[in-house]
Structure 1
């Protein structure tokens, strides 16, 4: 993973500045590199600068960035993980391989000139998360974009006062108003005297934008373009052909005929297991040893662990894949929420007995933090959080089912005072997102990714301060959208039956690339860790999208016999997989949004809504 920055100017070279460079180095603490180029095109000269910071996670050694081709002068800043390029699974340094493929696609080969479309085809063939900026110095073009699911952050900032444009993984809001590059395709900016640098406006939804800047776009999934018929540069009125190949596959909207039963023996349960194993293999095997790792804390992978269905299934399958000598950390975050505490004060004491713990357990994570003012020193606001309760329950089940593995449960306790200390930083990291819901979700991810808390390897062991050395964080995001896990999916079925449910699921799948994954990437990567999303593997997504509704949900049906498990119909295929893997309690766990499970939602007493702008 990397922090990337690029700037184009008609004047002098522009660099990130001290504050922005510091943010980029937080993302990539292992190396920082820079490259510059003067691009001569149409009688004008543009100054193009690149900065990359590196978190070394691929290959046997650190590979510096930016990548520079001395022959053509082309340059690449790459922040991604190319698990596959075409049909080839790639294990070594993927950035170098991607760069070589892009340079080859853009340069003259055997007397035939390369093209923008050739570069796009290289990017379109990649399975994995990425964001990038590529200077094609052969054809005098700048490519930039994000993968089709938007799993990595890329922002742009118009610097009209400096007659420049800059791109970055993370924003410095004091430098201007940043915007997010959409994850709907690859953008191409022809460089020349007609380019009014400093007023970038990305086209949406057409291929070309003639209003401000001639930025062109190749949409994901479009394969019917014959690059030999596309003049370079693009003509003003050239239109992209209809998208006959949806980038995430064709959504299956068939309605079941008669009663269909989903059981532990159903083929979709087995196939889901297979797809998740393959997805996890790419994401957790062959990880370099983190700096400072010792035999006592032999851990390379941590799980963002609420104790819910999605993350616990990942932890359980990871156990089957990793050597037993590798430990697995489970990061569980809980917050002191003044609004909830105020409500608890007015609740009869007998209902709070289960939440009583010693003052030492409360203050061990942050000894300097005092309990919220009107709360008894014996009452822990952390252990009563819903995600802490389900987390400890699922932790115990993992210990029972996988007793030969060293599991560490990291209880990340965040006092309200600590939340306030970090508020300004978190608000800056989520920029340009700016709602209270953005902030509440970001708080949970930010403190979880820090990985500092109170650790235990067994439910009855002592509690010790601990920070995970793992640089890879597994997230269960995506399972709800693919398999119908949200409450609104059940509501849609109750109101409009299968047609309503299918419409709601299709809507979720189509906007996967427009989710807030860029925001989440900026928040979690701040700690020099990389979040990976096994449910959002391209092959798994395409399989799930094409799956008939009765093979992933159980709405409208009951168990086929008394021996079948009685579990919730939402995400039933995943619940049945958990059941087959021995996680019987987890298979029945209800869905809960992270901001409510960790209690970061509505921390202030009042009427603030999630859609309210951050004050």
Structure 2
């Protein structure tokens, strides 16, 4: 995982500001590199390009680390022969369906891009070849690639938008900037759309193929029209299955989709959890490489349970559970206290949070089901005064998002990703009060609700309009996966030098879920009872296939957990009294 920045200017080299460089180094503390380039066009002032990359080293082989080899691959990638440059922020788990576990994906992609953009190819041939390389990548990424041989710049995000990339146009300095994170000191930053690969040709009077972009790269001396190649023109994620005319069957433990989901999740987790390097500064002090953003809910607990099956038993797994002191909730508890009730009996602001209670129950269940694994429950407690101290930082990180809901969700992810709290090795036995996880890879259950019908509005749609309404709502969620706020979440989590990985958003798993009939994913069938070993077993119909998988994995209580939004489970919503709505702009 990396931080990337590019500036294009007609007035000279424009490196990132001091503040932006600091933020980029937070994302990638292991290496900082810069490369410059110039483009000369007849009758036009030269263009100055400046590329910056920071690196967080995560991938490698155990042998490299054992033998003291430098596992950090430096960026930007620069081919001195052709002059081409790549800034890569991502994880290519597969290229054309070939897994890349243990390989350096950035170097492999750069080599493929160089071959695709060789000067022996025409401009058109090179463009098609470069686009095909990018379309063959499975995994989260954002990138900037400069093909010097043809003077073409490519940039973009993966089709699900799992990595951040922003842009800013500055007419005063006649510059265009692309960056993983906004520079809070200047400019009006916007997110690069995740529905396409964007490109521009630096050539005088060059017409650009593709659909006009919303990115204005126009300066008084030079115009570089930006075109884009839509992701859905590539072999994509399949076609949404709307079949409700035949073959409807109840979803049960023995249903084939339960086993298929398990295999897809195991395959996804294998790519995302094996061969993770031990953090360089803690090689001898800690074994923790993987942590889970852990509310104790269905999605994250199933991921933790399956990760146990993959990791060697000498690797510990941290469960990061965040809870906030919400003054509004605390005041309500004080108001509800009966006259004469002692102050000591008032509400514990952290342990009373819904996600803390769920988290402790699920932690206990994981210990019961997987007793050979060392699980560590990290209770991340955030007092209100500490939250206020970090508020300006969080607001800077979520730019250009600026609503109260953005902020409340970002608070939870920001402090959970920091991973600092009280560590427990048993339900009530703490290990340390000043523990900070060393894990640089954080697993998130995001995506399960959209794929398997986990939101309340899915149940409401079924109640009102049956399968047709449910399918409409699910298809809407699938189509806007790439427009979700994953860029915002990436900026907040990566600030701590950690990378979020989303096993449910693996392309192969998403494709299967999209193409599967509705009754293989959800349990919305009137009057149906679940029967396990002859006993009624009432499971919520939302995410039914995942609930059945949890039950098969021994997570009986977890399989019955209700969906709860992070801002309500951690109590970051409406931190202060008043009538502020989630859609209100940050005050």
Report the Cα distance in structure 2 between the residues aligned to 1:419 and 1:348, rounded to whole angstroms.
26
- Offset at 1:192? 3.1
Q: Deviations along 1:345-381, whole A, 9 cap, x unmatched? A: 222459xx9xx9xxxxxxxxxxxxxxxxxx8696420
Counterpart of 2:56 in structure 1 is 55
2:376 aligned to 405, 408, 414, which one?
408
Q: Is the 8 A contact 1:335 1:381 kept in 2?
A: yes
The question of 1:71 aligning with 2:39 is answered no
* Corresponding residue number in structure 1 for 2:166: 155
- Alignment partner for residue 540 of structure 1, among 509, 516, 525? 509
> C-alpha distance in 1, partners of 2:188/2:542?
40
Aligned to 1:504: 473
Matches within 5 A, 1:31-180: 31-44=31-44, 45-59=46-60, 60=64, 61-91=71-101, 92-109=103-120, 114-180=125-191
Matched residue of 1:299: which SS? coil
CA offsets 1:447-497 (integer angstroms, 9 cap, x no match): 000000000111132351200000000000000000000000000000111
Q: How much has 1:87 moved relative to structure 2?
A: 2.5
The answer (yes or no) to whether the contact 1:261–1:559 under 8 Å persists in 2 is no
Matched, 1:559 2:548: no
2:577 aligns with one of 598, 602, 605 = 605
In 1, are the aligned partners of 2:28 and 2:54 still within 8 Å (CA)? yes
Q: Is the 8 A contact 1:302 1:473 kept in 2?
A: yes
Shift of 1:58: 1.7
Partners of 1:77 and 1:134 within 8 A in 2: yes
Paired residue for 1:315? 304
How far apart, in 2, do the equivalents of 1:259 and 1:219 lie?
A: 35
Corresponding residue for residue 351 of structure 2: 383
- Change beyond 3 A, Cα 1:110–1:160: closer
Match of 1:326 in 2: 315
Which stretches in structure 2 are left out of the alignment for 5+ residues? 65-70, 216-222
Mean Cα deviation higher: 90-99 or 574-583: 90-99
- The equivalent of 2:6 in structure 1 is 6
C-alpha spacing 1:204/1:11, structure 2 compared with 1 (3 Å): closer
CA deviation map 1:1-60 (0-9, x unaligned): 000000111120100011000000000000000000111234432110000000011224
CA shift at 1:113, angstroms? 7.3
Deviation at 1:296, TM superposition (A): 6.2
Q: Distance in 1 between matches of 2:543 and 2:384?
A: 34
Tell me, in whole angstroms, the C-alpha distance in 2 between the residues paired with 1:286 and 1:331.
Answer: 21
Contact 1:84 1:128 (C-alpha < 8 Å) held by counterparts: yes
For 1:142 and 1:165, the matched residues in 2 are separated by: 12
Deviation at 1:257, TM superposition (A): 4.3
1:272-312 CA-to-partner distances (Å, cap 9, x unmatched) read 00000000000000001112335663110000000000000
**Helix, strand or coil: the match of 2:172?**
helix
Number of the residue aligned with 2:403: 435
**Structure 1 SS opposite 2:495:** helix
Bigger mean CA deviation after superposition, 453-462 or 340-349: 340-349
Q: Residue 387 of structure 1 aligns to a residue in which SS? A: helix
TM-score under structure 2 length normalisation: 0.92
**1:174 Cα deviation after fit:** 1.7
TM-score computed with the length of structure 1 as normaliser: 0.88
Report the count of equivalent residues: 561
Corresponding residue for 2:486? Answer: 517
Query: Aligned ranges for residues 325-364 of structure 1 at < 5 Å?
Result: 325-348=314-337
- Residue 591 of structure 1 and its aligned partner are, at CA, apart by 0.2
Instruction: Give the RMSD, CA atoms, in angstroms.
Output: 2.1
CA contact (8 A) 1:107 1:114 kept: no
The corresponding residue for 1:582 is 554
Deviations 1:234-265 (A, max 9, x none): xxxxxxxxxxx5x3210001115486211111
Map of 1:595 onto structure 2: 567
Aligned with 1:288 (options 277, 283, 308): 277
Distance between the aligned counterparts of 1:111 and 1:603, measured in 2?
A: 58
